[in-house]
Structures are given as structure tokens and as C-alpha cells.
Structure 1
Amino acid sequence: MKGRFYEPLWRSQIDLQDDKVYLGFRDLMEVRVANALMGVGVSAIRVRAAIEMAREVYGVERPLSTESFRHNGRDIFMKVIDRDANGAEREQLLNTFRRQYEFTAVVEPSLKHIEFDNAGTPRLWWPKGKGTQIVVDPARAFGQPIDASSSVPTSVLAAAGRYQGVEMAAKAYDVTAAAIRRSMKFEDEIAVRLAA
């Protein structure tokens, strides 16, 4: 709203004490999910309320980027594991605005193409799906998109493919010609999005 100050939804993972905003991998995943939620009609006010409630329930700073968080386009849900009277576990979804349980089948996952660790924290992001073999891994290549098998940044492979040709670049970087072509296509798609 005009003239009103809102606190940030979360504090950045990275603070270099230079009054600039830097985003870490988890921050990028939070932004991606928050953007996706707002893109399907969830208001920023509801996203903020859901984040605050999820922090309270899960005790984590960045709840949107956890595997437990799900949405259905209007309301935001959190996955909750319940135990029945016999001790059997049952998965349900908690609607963060009505605090009611909903069935999992109604809710579509918002964290598509993200691979999680055992704690439910994002570990890898496959921006175009695993089939493309392009991954963002914060533990490799400083979090740049890379060819999954060689760990070479897609920007490097794409530039080499354009400069040397696909076959020569593949030989020079000891990767397949397909890896060079995938990287070139991926980088071209990014350039088109940035130009738009």
C-alpha cells in the first residue's frame, strides 16, 4: 500500500554489511515460491500471514522453501504428519487461514523440480526438470546453473559452443555435444527472459 512500510518477509542468508541485498540459494527458493503463489492469485498479505504462521508451527526462518509447504492457488497449506489413536502416521494439510485440515489430493505442489534433503530443505533445483541435466546446486560452481554430470557452468559451455563450435567445445571441456547444445539452449532461454 502506498506510503506504508512493510518489514521484509525474511532476512537474507548473506549480509556483507554494505547495505546491499544479496540472495543465497534458500532466499532464491523462497522468492521463487512466493512469486509462484502470487502468480496464481494468492495475495501478498496471505503469503505474509502464511509465512508467519509456518515459522511458528515449524520453527524455521524460510518455510516456503521447505518440502512441507504446499498451496492450491487461493489458500496456503502446510503438510502436517498426524498420529491416530493406534499410533499410525497420517499426512494431512493444514490450511493456514482457516486452520482446518484438507486432503492432499486437492493441493498441487508448488516446489516443482526441487530436490530436498532428508530434513525437507531444498538441496538442488532443476530449473527445466531433471531431464535437461541442468541443475542449480549451491555446493557447486557458486550456485550457477551447471551441467549436472560435469559441474561446468552452462554459461561457460554455451559460450564455448558459440565460439568454438559444438564438437570442439565438447572435446575441450570433456563433455558430450548434447551437454553443449543443452547449455546453449538454456542460456538462450535466459537471455530471452531477461530481454523481455
Structure 2
Amino acid sequence: MESNNLNQQLGGGIYTIPEVAFILKLPVGKVRRWMTEFWDNKFSKKNSNKYSWGEGRDKATNFYTLIEFYVFYQLRALNISTNRIFKAHQDMAEQLNTAYPFASSKLLSDGKSILFTMKDGTIVEADNTRQAVFKQIIEQFCKKIEFSTTDIAERFYPLGKEKHIIVDPHHQFGQPVIEETNILAQTLYELYNAGETVAFLSRLYDLKEIDIQSAIELFTIKEAA
């Protein structure tokens, strides 16, 4: 990994392909394929943005791309085709003037199509027609994402917002930590796995036991199919 690329990415989180797969609980092969086929190929060619750097095992990406991977997977889970997702990404990138439209709070879905909110509040279907869509939104994306005042993803909660494990590019290079601390979830898990009790770790780090249990949960839940 070249040092200049590394320095440019420090403030935006640094995630290898296996780390993206772990945080999102997705197969490594699927994440690597998506990165190559979509972000490094199709998306990059359309907006001239570089989504990853490094080669092979050293290939890494940033926080916004991680969020886009999460949203991409949610769209696929709704049986929206990869072709429609690609077209939506392209159209939204142009309309919202960003290389990371899927990291925007303006993205919505009704379970059938991909929608986004224009500056005037109009809900538009993300395709080339850009016709207003007058239908009730039954599901809003990104229940695990906290957005900034500028509507861009700021934090990711891999276990949901009811658990205090966060992925924040401004803490520990974006690795999962206990919310409002710099304590790595991995550190807690490794100590627990080595034989320390939840009660002892709670006293040692001045954390609630439920936060210790959440850190353990993060490292024991299985990846998605």
C-alpha cells in the first residue's frame, strides 16, 4: 500500500476487503467480487472516483464505500436487480453530485424500486425518467446508519442502534469500538475468549456488561449467505 494513498484515507477509515466482510457479515468472496465488478469498474468509470487502493490482500477502501456495500446488500435482499441498482447509483450520483449516493440519507425504498429525495423534497424514482413517485414509503433504508447534518453517513451500528457498538472513521481508523469510547470491540472479545469474565471486563474498562456482551456478539454472529 503506497504511503500517500494511506495518508489520504486516514480520516475516512481504512477497511480491507475481509474487514468490510466482517463488519457487514458478508462472505469475503462476495465483497471482493462486488468491489471489482461495481465500485472499481462500473461506478468508477462513470464518475472517475477511485473507490479502493492497493492490490490483492492489501486492497482497502473507506467508510463511505463500506456504507454503500451495506445499502447495496439491502437492495439485493429486496430482489432489486444489480442492473437497476447500477442505474440508480449512476443517476443519483449525478443528481446529488456525490460519488457516494448510497451513503446519503436521501435514499429510500418501497421494497420494489429505488427512490431518493430531491432538494425540494420531491421523491423521485432513481432511473433515467426521474418522474415523481406518489406512493407510500413502507421501509426506509439504513436503520443501522447515523447521518450528519449534511445527510451523509457518519456512523454505522453493525448490531443496530440499540447496541453500543459503532463503526466511526474518526475512531480507531474506523474499527468497531464501544460508543463514546476508543475501546476496540475486538480487544474485549479477545480478553473474554482468553478466559476473562464479562463482569471483570466491565469493572476493568468501566463499561456496562451489556456493552461487553455486544462486543462478544459482534465476533460470534455468523455471516449472511
TM range (shorter): 0.7 to 0.9
More contact order relative to length (CA 8 Å, sep ≥ 6) = 2
Determine which structure has more spread, i.e. the larger CA radius of gyration: 1
The gaps in structure 1 that reach 5 residues or longer are: 83-90
Residue range with higher mean Cα deviation, 31-40 or 96-105: 96-105
- Give the structure 2 partner of residue 9 of structure 1: 43
Structure 2 length normalisation: TM-score? Answer: 0.71
Mark the CA change 1:12 to 1:155 in structure 2 (over 3 Å): closer, same or farther.
Answer: farther
- Give the structure 1 partner of residue 178 of structure 2: 147
Secondary structure in structure 2 of the residue aligned to 1:94: strand
Shift of 1:102: 2.0
The yes-or-no answer on 1:49 pairing with 2:81 is no
Q: What is the root-mean-square deviation of aligned Cα atoms in Å?
A: 2.3
Higher strand content, 1 or 2: 1
Residue among 123, 134, 146 paired with 1:93: 123
Mark the CA change 1:135 to 1:103 in structure 2 (over 3 Å): closer, same or farther.
Answer: farther
User: What does 1:40-79 align with in structure 2 at a 5 Å threshold?
Assistant: 40-79=78-117
Q: Distance in 1 between matches of 2:123 and 2:152?
A: 18
- Give the structure 2 partner of residue 169 of structure 1: 201
The yes-or-no answer on 1:116 pairing with 2:147 is yes
Mark the CA change 1:63 to 1:181 in structure 2 (over 3 Å): closer, same or farther.
Answer: same
Aligned residue-pair number: 180
- Give the structure 2 partner of residue 39 of structure 1: 77
Please identify runs of 4+ aligned residues in structure 1 that moved more than 6 A: none
Structure 1 letter corresponding to 2:140: P
The gaps in structure 2 that reach 5 residues or longer are: 1-36
Higher helix content, 1 or 2: 2
Shift of 1:169: 2.0
Q: Distance in 1 between matches of 2:80 and 2:210?
A: 39
- Give the structure 1 partner of residue 62 of structure 2: 24
Structure 2 letter corresponding to 1:49: K
Structure 1 letter corresponding to 2:42: P
Q: Deviations over 1:8-57 (max 9, x none)?
A: 324454424x4653121101111111111112111111111111111111
Q: Deviations over 1:153-183 (max 9, x none)?
A: 1111122223221222223323233322221
Secondary structure in structure 2 of the residue aligned to 1:100: coil
